[in-house]
Amino acid sequence: MSLSTRSSFQTDSAASYRALTNVECRSWLCDHDEGRLGYQTGRGLRAVVTRYRVIDDVVVLVLPEYNEICQYAPERTITLTVSALTDNDTFTEVVVTGMGHLADNEPLLDEATEQIEHWPTGVTTHTVRLDLTKREGSVWSWRTEPVAIRHARSLQRV
């Protein structure tokens, strides 16, 4: 199984690329609260958008029990991709890859789970922990605005 940590974002010759440092990656993750959680199933690679929080060197996610990732994440490789288009025509992406761990009984994380996402009464949730040991980030810049950016901007205005 291979979960890529490289961006699949396509660029043209007018684009420039810069890798982010570990400090920049952590800062990016801490400044955001939503990402795409990728995981492998028997039917192939899947992803779900989820909210998260960074506590110390751990990404904490709270997922409803009915979400299939609760059965695929524990003790398997998962990725969290956090990306966004910024005002200065750059696309920044940070990917965290690691082993998913169920953390339902970790007291340190109990308080944090309350601040991530609130689920309706009666919905059972699980806390998933992803250590920040393997992270990679990149910044893409353009001299001209590619079609993908124009499309993303049009979606933001709706």
Tell me the helix, strand and coil percentages in the chain, rounded to 5.
Answer: 20, 45, 35
Domain ranges of the chain: 16-157
Report the CATH number of the 16-157 domain. 2.30.110.10
pLDDT digits (tens, 9 = 90+) for 29-78: 899 999 999 998 888 999 999 999 898 888 888 888 888 888 888 888 88
Both structure tokens of 115: 């601040």
Mean pLDDT, to the nearest integer, of 121-149?
75
**Does pTM top 0.75 for this prediction?**
no
Instruction: Name the amino acid, one letter, at 126.
Output: H
29, amino acid identity: L
